[in-house]
Amino acid sequence: MRYTEYIEECAASLAAEKRAPSDSILIYYVRMMRHAEEICETFGYNDLDQSHQMNDDKILVCVNAFAAMLNHWKMSLPLSISCERFTSLPSFSLAFNDAQS
């Protein structure tokens, strides 16, 4: 399911009502999904024609911007949420660390 503002609004509504324990963390998964989609679109991972190309400088700028964005997202997590719950987060972090080396 692709990210939409409506999905984020629904997740925020669930988080506010807190009817189930998972409701309060759902919004963070939705935001992570939004970031993943932005990364895929920026680097053309879904471009089957392989027509999307970027030079090295633009790639580095994008990687640094996404690393900052994901770090900001990670810092926004409440202390009650362990990063271990977010299985995709370590792979994002590793990819950015490798690219910056």
The pLDDT tens digits of the residues spanning 37-73 come to 988 888 888 777 766 677 888 888 989 999 898 888 8
pLDDT computed for residue 85 by the predictor: 53
Range of the domain at 52: 5-100
Top pLDDT among 66 and 76 is at 66
Distance CA 81, CA 42 (A): 29
- Mean per-residue pLDDT of the chain: 78
pLDDT computed for residue 24 by the predictor: 85
Distance CA 20, CA 97 (A): 35
Backbone φ, ψ for residue 78 (5° rounding): -65, 150
Total number of domains in the chain: 1
| Entry field: residues in the chain | 101
